Amino acid sequence: MHPDPDAALERVRAICLALPETSEKVSHGIPAFQVAGKMFAYFRHDHHGDRTTVVCVKTSGREEQDMLIEADPDLYSWPAYIGPAGWIAVDIAPPGTDWAHIEDRIVRSWEFAAPRRLLEAGGR
């Protein structure tokens, strides 16, 4: 578990809210980030006692989820409840977290959720 989940949340929040037309709300008791009303990231810390600190992001679907988990099972995991809808959990607890990689995953998730007009306008 992250020694300071608040610091991890602040990093996730800064990445998410820097993207066009994003906002934060509480969804099911956790911080959630949306673009034009569609969720693209959830911050989970010790979600239902799982002792992890993760950001959940959208993927292209089951094939990508399986590939990510197989390639790096320490970094990626299947998130409870939202996994079947194409989401993946990314561990942000380790002291050596690659925040550039986390930002890339969040941006890709934003792109899956963003309306076409934002993507055509050059996105971020």
Please list, in sequence order, all residues whose beta carbon lies within 8 angstroms of the beta carbon of residue 8, skipping any fewer than 6 positions away.
2, 43, 45, 53, 92, 93, 97
pLDDT band at 4 (very low <50, low <70, confident <90, very high): confident
Task: Using DSSP, state whether 93 is helix, strand or coil.
Answer: coil
Residue among 85, 106, 102, 110 at smallest CA distance from 22: 110
63-116 pLDDT tens trace: 999 999 999 999 999 999 999 999 999 999 988 999 999 999 999 999 999 999
Rounded distance, CA 59 to CA 56, Å? Answer: 10
pTM (2 d.p.) = 0.93
11-56 pLDDT tens trace: 999 999 999 999 999 998 999 999 999 999 999 999 888 889 999 9
* Domains of the chain: residue spans and CATH: 5-116 (3.90.1150.30)
